[in-house]
């Protein structure tokens, strides 16, 4: 196996490879671009015109997706997986990965679309570097652009594997992309309705990629992900990489649940209180009239929507950031 296929091993050790570029027997080029960043380019004659960005480890303790990308890289480096797509593999926050922490000072996934310019420190610099790498990768015109940012969640979920689809004014969400996600094992998609500051929001809004944050189960340490079943996702990623996706699935959502954002719960001060059990699961339903949270100056969030559910509740975020999202079922009428 080519040494560059061991990107995770290099990243965990904080080492640079001796050779920055290597070729497989079939002529696939692997090029190290910096810490936790590797470009894979197929031979020109096999290139099918897709640029695929696969990122994981934006939160350093979310190890199942990191292990999945490691598996894909090993297969490419051994010649077992023969790419037809051009791929950028990114491990988002290397130092947090090494320490097994979600982040060190700041949540990297809240530092995109200009937010890193308003901050300082290692993680702001890393967000800037990730934007630069993605912008360069997606700079070739007339190619299909797709970005999957792979995560696991702090808490359990009533719907274990789901995706978040960013929003951009004047751009419609794609039914065929949701069908692709359904085939990859995603049971639900949250269709967002406002601009955001996550990595996929940057690639979707600024770089015109189709981009999705994928939540794949509960975060666990390396080697303890036996309960996170990524078989369908792994199969679909291998098909994407090799240019072997089945054509007949183009519009089938296979019972996928769709949700839209009703409201975001923003923590304004240290007085913020979230009135939910500490172990509440994502997509737990909340009854109308339920006092969800309160803050200074009599600010209250009371559930008013039918069928409302909570995702990503986290009262420990910094002031000014989102402490949860209230979502409601969507009929997907806006899909194209």
Q: Give the span between the Cα atoms of 59 and 221, in whole angstroms.
A: 12
Claim to verify: residue 134 and residue 267 sit in the same structural domain: no
β-strand partners of 311:
325
pLDDT (tens digit, 9 = 90+) per residue, 206-261?
999 999 999 998 888 888 888 789 999 999 999 999 999 987 665 678 889 999 99
The answer to the question of residue 77 being in a domain is: yes
Claim to verify: residue 204 and residue 315 sit in the same structural domain: no
Q: Are 57 and 150 in contact (CB under 8 A)?
A: no
Chosen domain end from 214, 249, 284: 249
Cβ count near 258 (within 10 Å)? 20
Chosen domain end from 215, 249, 283: 249
* Backbone phi and psi for residue 233, each to the nearest 5 degrees, phi listed first: -65, -45
Chosen domain end from 206, 223, 249: 249
Give the structural domain span for 271.
Answer: 262-329
The answer to the question of residue 101 being in a domain is: yes
Claim to verify: residue 47 and residue 189 sit in the same structural domain: yes
Claim to verify: residue 101 and residue 41 sit in the same structural domain: yes
Residues classed as catalytic: 215
Claim to verify: residue 224 and residue 267 sit in the same structural domain: no
pLDDT (tens digit, 9 = 90+) per residue, 112-134?
998 898 888 999 999 999 999 99
Q: Which pLDDT value is given to residue 283?
A: 96
CATH code (residue 322): 2.40.50.630
Q: Which pLDDT value is given to residue 182?
A: 94
Claim to verify: residue 160 and residue 231 sit in the same structural domain: yes
Claim to verify: residue 141 and residue 289 sit in the same structural domain: no
Q: Which pLDDT value is given to residue 25?
A: 92
Q: Give the span between the Cα atoms of 277 and 315, in whole angstroms.
A: 11
Claim to verify: residue 9 and residue 55 sit in the same structural domain: yes
Claim to verify: residue 214 and residue 319 sit in the same structural domain: no
Q: Give the span between the Cα atoms of 202 and 111, in whole angstroms.
A: 10
The answer to the question of residue 255 being in a domain is: no
The answer to the question of residue 114 being in a domain is: yes
pLDDT (tens digit, 9 = 90+) per residue, 268-313?
999 999 999 999 999 999 999 999 999 998 899 999 999 999 999 9
The number of domains in the chain is 2
Q: Give the span between the Cα atoms of 235 and 245, in whole angstroms.
A: 10
Claim to verify: residue 267 and residue 236 sit in the same structural domain: no
The answer to the question of residue 107 being in a domain is: yes
The answer to the question of residue 26 being in a domain is: yes
Q: Which pLDDT value is given to residue 315?
A: 94
pLDDT confidence of 143, banded at 50, 70, 90? very high
pLDDT (tens digit, 9 = 90+) per residue, 17-36?
999 999 999 999 999 999 99
User: How much is the pTM?
Assistant: 0.95
Does residue 22 come out as left (phi exceeding 0), alpha (psi in the -120 to 50 range) or beta? beta
CATH code (residue 226): 3.40.630.10
Q: Which pLDDT value is given to residue 332?
A: 87
Whole-angstrom CA distances from 237 to 71, 149, 240 are 11, 12, 5
Claim to verify: residue 231 and residue 270 sit in the same structural domain: no
Q: Which pLDDT value is given to residue 178?
A: 96
pLDDT confidence of 48, banded at 50, 70, 90? very high
Q: Are 185 and 215 in contact (CB under 8 A)?
A: no
Three-state SS string across the chain, please?
Answer: CCHHHHHHHHHHHCCCCCCCEEECCCCCEEEEEECCEEEEECCHHHCCCEEEEEEECCCCCCHHHHHHHHHHHHHHHHCCCCCCCEEEEEECCHHHHHHCCCCCCCCHHHCCCCHHHHCCCHHHHHHHHHHHHHHHHCCCCCCEEEEEEEEEECCCECCCCEEEECCECCECCCHHHHHHHHHCCCCEEEECCCCCCCHHHHHHHCCCCEEEEEEEEECCCCCCCCCCCCHHHHHHHHHHHHCCCCHHHCCCCCCCEEEEEEEEEECCCCCCEECCCCCCCECEECCCCCEEEECHHHCEEECCCCCCEEECCCCCCCCCCEEEEEEEECCCCCCC
């Amino acid at each position: 196996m080519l040494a560059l296929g061991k990107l995770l091993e290099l990243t965990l050790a904080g080492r640079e490879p001796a050779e920055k570029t290597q070729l497989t027997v079939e002529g696939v080029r692997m090029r190290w671009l910096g810490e936790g960043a590797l470009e894979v380019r197929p031979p020109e004659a096999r290139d099918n015109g897709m640029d695929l960005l696969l990122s994981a480890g934006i939160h350093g303790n979310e190890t199942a997706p990191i292990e999945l990308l490691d598996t894909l890289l090993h297969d490419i480096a051994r010649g077992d997986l023969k790419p037809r797509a051009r791929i950028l593999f990114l491990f988002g926050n290397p130092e947090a990965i090494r320490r097994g922490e979600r982040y060190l000072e700041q949540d990297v996934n809240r530092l995109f679309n200009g937010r890193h310019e308003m901050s300082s420190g290692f993680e702001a610099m890393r967000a800037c570097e990730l934007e630069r790498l993605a912008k360069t990768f997606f700079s070739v015109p007339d190619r299909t652009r797709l970005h999957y940012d792979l995560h696991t969640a702090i808490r359990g979920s009533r719907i274990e594997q789901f995706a978040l689809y960013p929003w951009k004014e004047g751009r419609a969400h794609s039914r065929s992309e949701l069908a692709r996600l359904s085939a990859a094992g995603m049971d639900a998609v949250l269709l967002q309705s406002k601009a955001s500051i996550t990595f996929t929001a940057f690639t979707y809004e600024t770089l015109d990629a189709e981009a999705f944050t994928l939540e794949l189960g509960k975060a666990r340490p390396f080697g303890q992900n036996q309960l996170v079943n990524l078989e369908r996702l792994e199969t679909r990623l291998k098909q994407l990489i090799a240019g072997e996706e089945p054509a007949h699935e183009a519009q089938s959502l296979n019972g996928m649940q769709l949700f839209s954002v009703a409201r975001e719960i923003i923590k304004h001060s240290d007085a913020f209180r979230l009135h939910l059990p500490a172990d509440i699961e994502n997509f737990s339903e909340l009854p109308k009239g339920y006092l969800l949270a309160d803050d200074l100056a009599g600010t209250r969030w009371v559930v008013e929507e039918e069928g409302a559910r909570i995702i990503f509740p986290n009262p420990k975020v910094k002031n000014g950031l989102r402490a949860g999202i209230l979502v409601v079922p969507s009929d997907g009428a806006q899909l194209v």
